[in-house]
């Protein structure tokens, strides 16, 4: 992570979330990875630690990624569409997404990933500009700025739907992440 991104984000007051956050949550993982995962926004645990996806959703996500063979430190860079926690974990507002977008664009430029995983509808809308149900969107490769993009269910949705039966959201997500891994390994 460049000093400029770190410094710029940590002192950012471009939207109202600056006034309720504890910490700005920028990224974790490897800035040189070929895969970037983008979630929605920090939750309570992320806000307290300054790291993305470290609460219950994050643990669920890490497990799935490890299950399909990713090394969490080496193989991906993890961030969110919005860097500061929305109060009570509400969805980020359009204006907040827009205000935070330059930071996400800077991260995309720095990491320059070949493949992007979009976790949940907010990330899909932010990057691909499409609104829709994740049941329809997930698991289908998309393309954006010369990059392959895979929408997947948000891990908090998986926590609310814990069945591990074949064809259940957890199983589908494992399949989607496996497809991402295959694509990266085949190159
Ligand atoms: N934690 C994050 O960092 N991002 C999310 O989207 C959800 C939980
Ligand atoms: Fe700045 Fe983004 Fe935090 Fe808003 S959410 S204050 S734009 S870093």
Q: What is the pLDDT of residue 187?
A: 78
C-alpha distances out from residue 171 to 47, 64, 109, 139, Å: 29, 10, 32, 11
Distance from the Cα of residue 53 to its chain's centroid: 8
Distance 90 CA to ligand 1 centre (A): 12
Identify the pLDDT of residue 1. Answer: 59
Query: What is the spatial distance between Cα 10 and Cα 139, in angstroms, rounded to a whole number?
Result: 34
DSSP three-state, residue 110 = helix
Task: Report CA Rg, the chain.
Answer: 15
Distance 49 CA to ligand 1 centre (A): 12
Q: Residue 52: CB partners within 8 Å, gap ≥ 6?
A: 25, 26, 27, 28, 39, 42, 46, 58, 78, 79, 80
Strands of 43-133, DSSP E: 76-80, 115-119
What is the C-alpha to C-alpha distance for residues 98 and 142, in angstroms, rounded to an integer? 22
Rounded to two decimals, the pTM is: 0.97
pLDDT in tens, 131-165: 999 999 999 999 999 999 999 999 999 999 999 99
Arithmetic mean of pLDDT over the chain: 97
The CB of 58 under 6 Å from ligand 1? The reply is: yes
> Is the C-beta atom of 113 inside 6 A of ligand 1?
no
What residue ranges define each of the domains in the chain, with the CATH number in brackets?
A: 17-186 (3.40.470.10)
Instruction: For ligand 2, atom 3, name the residue with the nearest CA.
Output: 84
Question: What is the arithmetic mean of pLDDT over 160-176?
Answer: 98
Give the per-residue pLDDT at 28.
97
């Amino acid at each position: 992570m460049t000093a400029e991104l770190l410094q710029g984000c940590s002192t950012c007051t471009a939207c109202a979330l600056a006034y309720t956050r504890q910490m700005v949550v920028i990224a974790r993982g490897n800035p040189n990875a070929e895969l970037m995962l983008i979630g929605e926004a920090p939750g309570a645990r992320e806000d307290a630690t300054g790291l993305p996806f470290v609460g219950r959703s994050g643990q669920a996500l890490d497990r799935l990624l490890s299950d399909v063979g990713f090394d969490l430190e080496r193989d991906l860079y993890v961030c969110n569409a919005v860097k500061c926690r929305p109060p009570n974990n509400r969805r980020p507002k359009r204006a907040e997404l827009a205000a935070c977008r330059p930071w996400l664009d800077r991260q995309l430029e720095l990491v320059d990933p070949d493949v992007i995983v979009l976790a949940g509808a907010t990330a899909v809308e932010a990057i691909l500009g499409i609104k829709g149900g994740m049941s329809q969107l997930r698991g289908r490769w998309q393309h954006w700025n010369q990059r392959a993009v895979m929408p997947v269910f948000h891990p908090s949705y998986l926590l609310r739907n814990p069945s591990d039966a074949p064809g259940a959201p957890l199983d589908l997500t494992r399949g989607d992440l496996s497809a991402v891994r295959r694509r990266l390994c085949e190159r």
